[in-house]
């Protein structure tokens, strides 16, 4: 059994998460956009970011949405990052649309009162700086718990059910990824990749989510 990782382009990869998973001996399998997908044999799913829109009419994204709908129906733990969070929101029937403001670079994320009791975010300060790179956002899915927001983006994190999480920011980011993204034609070259050490808070998010994902569930009566 392994964690299924949905990757949409090579430069938007697991980042610091890969080393954490490998150190802990957790197996994971990456599938690129358009490759065959199935839930069988996987304990949970991490959905990474990318330059695509959740609204793009691409066969690969349609397949991902179908898989996410199936995962949500069966309570399979999910962690969606940026585009991944938007795909989870869309799979839950929420609207994904152009954000009023692009959010690129280091920005503060503020946590809601509900986050204080959340198993993934309860230990975070009320305001924590994370890395962002997005121009779309989403409505909070019906039945989801709103966990975080920023000045430019109201829905920065949510939880649906026990173990499906969407985060709009990039907890997996590394300085090398920032340099890579900034050098691309659509990038912004004036971002300091070392302004914040993003690895420690990212590790907390991943490890807390893994704890939730691996916790036994009570059988339905």
User: What is the chain's mean pLDDT, rounded?
Assistant: 95
Domain-located, residue 162: yes
Active-site choice (8, 13, 42, 170)? 170
CA–CA separation, 131 and 22 (whole Å): 23
Catalytic: 172?
yes
Active-site choice (82, 132, 134, 155)? 82
Residue 22 maps to which CATH number?
3.40.50.880
Domain-located, residue 15: yes
Tokens of 217: 């569930």
Catalytic: 194?
no
The predicted model scores a pTM of 0.96
| 70: containing domain | 2-214
Report whether 3 contacts 26 (CB < 8 A): yes
Active-site choice (64, 103, 136, 172)? 172
Question: Residue 39's pLDDT band (boundaries 50, 70, 90)?
Answer: very high
Is the pLDDT assigned to residue 219 strictly greater than 80?
no
Please count the other Cβ atoms lying within 10 Å of the Cβ belonging to residue 128: 16
Cα separation values, 32 from 5, 6, 13, 64, 165, Å? 8, 6, 10, 11, 21
CA–CA separation, 161 and 175 (whole Å): 33
Question: Residue 187's pLDDT band (boundaries 50, 70, 90)?
Answer: low
Domain-located, residue 220: no
Average pLDDT over residues 170-177: 98
Q: Please name every residue paired with 145 in a beta bridge, in sequence order, or none if there are none.
A: 159
- Read off φ and ψ for residue 110, nearest 5 degrees: -110, 140
Quote the number of domains for the chain. Answer: 1
Is the pLDDT assigned to residue 218 strictly greater than 90?
no
Nearest to 161 by CA among 47, 77, 42, 66: 77
């Amino acid at each position: 059994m392994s964690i299924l990782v949905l990757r949409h382009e090579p430069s938007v990869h697991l980042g610091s998460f890969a080393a954490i998973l490998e150190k802990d001996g957790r197996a994971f399998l990456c599938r690129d956009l358009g490759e065959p997908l199935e839930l069988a044999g996987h304990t949970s799913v991490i959905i990474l970011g990318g330059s695509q829109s959740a609204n793009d009419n691409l066969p690969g994204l349609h397949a991902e949405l179908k898989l996410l709908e199936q995962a949500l129906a069966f309570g399979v733990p999910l962690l969606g990052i940026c585009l991944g969070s938007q795909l989870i929101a869309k799979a839950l029937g929420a609207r994904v649309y152009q954000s009023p403001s692009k959010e690129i670079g280091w920005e503060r994320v503020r946590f809601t009162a509900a986050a204080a009791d959340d198993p993934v975010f309860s230990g975070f300060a009320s305001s924590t700086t994370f890395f962002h790179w997005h121009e779309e956002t989403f409505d909070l899915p019906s039945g989801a718990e709103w966990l975080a927001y920023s000045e430019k983006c109201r829905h920065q994190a949510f939880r649906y059910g026990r173990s499906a999480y969407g985060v709009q920011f990039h907890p997996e980011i590394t300085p090398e990824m920032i340099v890579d993204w900034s050098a691309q034609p659509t990038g912004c070259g004036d971002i300091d990749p070392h302004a914040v050490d993003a690895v420690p808070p990212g590790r907390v998010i991943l490890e807390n989510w893994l704890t939730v994902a691996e916790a036994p569930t009570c059988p339905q009566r």
